[in-house]
Structure 1
Amino acid sequence: MVEIRSHLSRDLSIDIWLKKECNQVTGSFKERSARYMLMTLRDDFKQKGVFAATCGNFGESLSYCASQLNILMTIIMPLSVPLIHIQKCRKYNANVIVQGNDLIEAKLIAKKLAREAETLCLNTDDYNAIAANGTVGLEIYDQVGDIDAVIVPVGTGSLIAGVATAIKGLNSNVQIIGVQTEKSISFTLSKEKGQIIPVKPELSIAQCIVTDIVGKNAFVTAQPLVDKMVVVSEEAIAAAMLRIFEADKCVVEGAAASSVAALMSGQLGSHLRHKRVVVVLTGGNIDVVMFTRCLQLGLIEENRIIPVLVTIQDRPGSSAELFRQLATIGVSIRNIITRRDIHSDDVYNVELELQCEVRDEEHGVELYRLLKERYPKNVKFVESGPLFTNLEQISPMQPELIPQSNNPLVNELGSMNKDAVTSLRGLQREILLDKNYQSCSTAGNLQAYPHLGDSNKR
């Protein structure tokens, strides 16, 4: 796919170019390696069919290419795989088996079935796969030119091995930077230790680069060629997905967005400022529900949705007053959850969990100051993103001056003066001597005090 300059370039002060592998037919760069691996199979394996374990993109690419080459393809996917990947593989007439709690178990099942069928279990740590992925690097070098750095998402390492081999072979001065999610850092640890280190992977929004262990062939190939590895958080990936969607109108999966997250995270320092950098958007296979959740997380990380917990009195009008306060500064409420803890001894208050939508960080600070001033002891901000890292350093709004009361019973300090106390004592005696005075059971009923109920009699 032809590279294009990203609209994020101006925001990050970097000349960013996008390698949109998400625009492939199957929505992933893995179509390259899948086709080449299937084309180079022995004839007997083509007749028997082959197996593979995958979390998504590799399986889709194999299914699509196998259908065009008339090869029986069996894909084993773990139970955690999004439904969209299963549906697409079956759409290309692949035999899909959903089994195993994670990719590790799915791989064991695939190898067992392949041995029983006396055929192959394909994986991305194949030199044919690495060579095919190298075509991504060749296209980047030919189409962009004068590259300073290339940023590549890393799972098993097949893609970065191919890209690094191609680009370093053409220009050794180009930096090759790999990115991994914090949920799976086998390649990063292996590069630091100089040997392959397995890890226990966790579920991630960048599931396509989650693996228990880096590929041996990929690691041996890529280790001397990769200049730097960067590990990014789930929140940073979600924020990158949001920025890519808004700036470049491009829907990408979490694994693809990790390359942009590396730039946004600040871990690469200032040495890439005003440099020409190519980021590989490896795929765009993500279902609508997951994409929506990621955008929501991205909005929170970017401080455009701010979760807040506010405790208010459980009485009519208290929530309306809170909402009026938020409306005065133009804050919208995206969601409200009311919490009444039946185990709490505080029966007079209720906790509201709000998702407040703000325009930008300055607007977020205004929201913080307002709530801290109005509800100083009853508001808690759910910290997320850089804005609320040091909440207490933000000074609250200056409190509004209370107008001086015209009540003669209250002095300028807001307290009762001696004359006022004397007057009240006299009023108390008058009430007690009143023949119409009734017991305290009638308190609040003005009919018990005719001279108080009728203003003309005061």
Structure 2
Amino acid sequence: MSTTTESPIPTSITIETIWEARDRIAPYIHWTPVFTSETLNGLTGTRLHMKAENLQKTGAFKVRGALNAVAQLSVDERSAGVVTFSAGNHGQGLAFAAREFGVACTVFMTDTAVPSKVAAIQGYGASTRQFPTIQDAVAEMERTVEQTGAVFISPFANEAVIAGQATVALELLEQVEELEQVIVPIGGGGLISGTALTLRILQPDIRIVGVEPEGAPTMTRALQQGRPVTLESTNTIADGLTAPFTADLNLAIVRELVDDVVIVTDDEIVDALRLVLDRTKLLIEGSAAAGIAALLTGKAAVETGAVTAAILTGGNIDLGRLKGLL
């Protein structure tokens, strides 16, 4: 974390912005519970609190940011409709938000997107379009924006989205006393950006650790090279963490405010997923299990016995895939 007095982070997000987001989205979301497990405490060497965003509306935290963004659109912007690219969870969140506010929504995805996530997006009333690669999907989305004037709601590089995701951290601070560290899975970086902005203002001594899958180390590569990079391909069971690139805004926040970013393997993610299901009966997806995997393996270098929160980011796992894992 940087010790400079003047922040180089290019954002107008303030704690007031985040409080406003909390109030704005409150009528539409669940205040998700926090779960504990003595077994997981022992295995991780922490006093672990798991924030169950797998129980959130649409099955993931992503709906928070989507609602905050769509709620602030002008009448003309709502008439133009919204678009995004997504592996699935942001698409579901945006489709839900668009439905709540009567806005047309199209989600651009890959041909390999999890079928149940595609079906869920369509179930919320949005259209989906699928392409061979995420780069193809993004390119076609950008053409659509240019041709139709639709509003692009980024999964991670939109300030309203980040402020919405930041509300997870607000809740954690109220739910967990004497919180010392937070473990956050990273895809494009929206959740960890919001978490870091919130905690550094309200509880600046809390340690923040980001976690990426070995098959999609987007933020790690960006930190190494000092700029956002685009991965040629991603390959991980944690499909919600497969953003092939991040953005300048998210990189700046992570570089300045996050203590560490670590990488876990798919085998470690699967072991964590099984353990959480067995010991807590919480059904989570691979993306959510990444943070638990970092704690179980010791890759998240946390202080023994520290009060720790892990954000279980979602539970939208395909049942066929789950059967294969079990």
TM tier relative to shorter chain: 0.7 to 0.9
Partner of 1:387: none
Partner of 1:15: 47
Larger radius of gyration, structure 1 or 2?
1
Superposed CA offset, 1:264-318 (max 9, x none): 112234x4211111000000001111112233xxxxxxxxxxxxxxxxxxxxxxx
Paired with 1:13 and 1:53, the residues of 2 have a C-alpha distance of 38
Paired with 2:288 and 2:142, the residues of 1 have a C-alpha distance of 28
C-alpha RMSD of matched pairs (Å): 1.3
Structure with the higher fraction of residues in helix conformation: 2
Partner of 1:232: 264
Question: In the alignment, is the contact (CA less than 8 A) between 2:44 and 2:298 conserved in 1?
Answer: no
Question: In the alignment, is the contact (CA less than 8 A) between 2:95 and 2:105 conserved in 1?
Answer: yes
TM-score by length of 1: 0.62
Question: In the alignment, is the contact (CA less than 8 A) between 1:241 and 1:294 conserved in 2?
Answer: no
CA shift for structure 1 position 194: 2.9
Question: In the alignment, is the contact (CA less than 8 A) between 1:201 and 1:211 conserved in 2?
Answer: no
Question: In the alignment, is the contact (CA less than 8 A) between 2:209 and 2:300 conserved in 1?
Answer: no
SS at match of 2:256: coil
Paired with 1:53 and 1:131, the residues of 2 have a C-alpha distance of 19
Which amino acid in 1 is paired with 2:193?
A
CA shift for structure 1 position 172: 1.6
Answering whether residue 74 of structure 2 is matched by residue 42 of structure 1, we say yes
Question: In the alignment, is the contact (CA less than 8 A) between 2:108 and 2:137 conserved in 1?
Answer: yes
Which amino acid in 1 is paired with 2:175?
Q
* 1:124-273 aligned within 5 A: 124=155, 125-269=157-301, 271-273=302-304
CA shift for structure 1 position 198: 2.5
Question: In the alignment, is the contact (CA less than 8 A) between 1:30 and 1:58 conserved in 2?
Answer: yes
Paired with 1:239 and 1:104, the residues of 2 have a C-alpha distance of 31
Paired with 2:115 and 2:80, the residues of 1 have a C-alpha distance of 27
Partner of 2:306: 275
Superposed CA offset, 1:92-144 (max 9, x none): 111122x2112222111111112111222221210111111111111111210
Which amino acid in 1 is paired with 2:276?
I
Partner of 2:324: 293
CA shift for structure 1 position 71: 0.5
Paired with 1:121 and 1:268, the residues of 2 have a C-alpha distance of 34
Unaligned runs of 5+ in 1: 296-458
Paired with 2:54 and 2:164, the residues of 1 have a C-alpha distance of 16
Question: In the alignment, is the contact (CA less than 8 A) between 2:216 and 2:234 conserved in 1?
Answer: yes
Question: In the alignment, is the contact (CA less than 8 A) between 1:184 and 1:200 conserved in 2?
Answer: no
Question: In the alignment, is the contact (CA less than 8 A) between 1:182 and 1:233 conserved in 2?
Answer: yes
Which amino acid in 1 is paired with 2:54?
C
CA shift for structure 1 position 222: 2.5
Paired with 1:112 and 1:86, the residues of 2 have a C-alpha distance of 21
Question: In the alignment, is the contact (CA less than 8 A) between 1:130 and 1:218 conserved in 2?
Answer: no
Question: In the alignment, is the contact (CA less than 8 A) between 1:177 and 1:226 conserved in 2?
Answer: yes
* 1:256-405 aligned within 5 A: 256-269=288-301, 271-295=302-326
Which amino acid in 2 is paired with 1:231?
I
Paired with 2:183 and 2:304, the residues of 1 have a C-alpha distance of 14
Which amino acid in 2 is paired with 1:162?
G
* 1:414-425 aligned within 5 A: none
Which amino acid in 2 is paired with 1:77?
M
Question: Share of identical aligned residues, percent?
Answer: 26
TM-score by length of 2: 0.87
Paired with 2:33 and 2:283, the residues of 1 have a C-alpha distance of 17
Which amino acid in 2 is paired with 1:274?
G
CA shift for structure 1 position 70: 0.6
Paired with 2:147 and 2:45, the residues of 1 have a C-alpha distance of 55
CA shift for structure 1 position 59: 0.6
Which amino acid in 1 is paired with 2:154?
N
* 1:420-435 aligned within 5 A: none
Paired with 1:148 and 1:9, the residues of 2 have a C-alpha distance of 14
Paired with 1:131 and 1:172, the residues of 2 have a C-alpha distance of 18
Partner of 1:79: 111
CA shift for structure 1 position 242: 0.4
Partner of 1:123: 154
Partner of 1:114: 145
Question: In the alignment, is the contact (CA less than 8 A) between 2:80 and 2:151 conserved in 1?
Answer: no
CA shift for structure 1 position 186: 1.7
Greater relative CO (CA pairs within 8 A, separation 6+): 2
SS at match of 1:224: helix
CA shift for structure 1 position 38: 0.6
SS at match of 2:166: helix
Paired with 2:299 and 2:87, the residues of 1 have a C-alpha distance of 28
Paired with 1:268 and 1:209, the residues of 2 have a C-alpha distance of 18
Q: Name the count of aligned residue pairs.
A: 293
Partner of 1:64: 96
Paired with 2:231 and 2:243, the residues of 1 have a C-alpha distance of 8
Question: In the alignment, is the contact (CA less than 8 A) between 1:160 and 1:222 conserved in 2?
Answer: yes
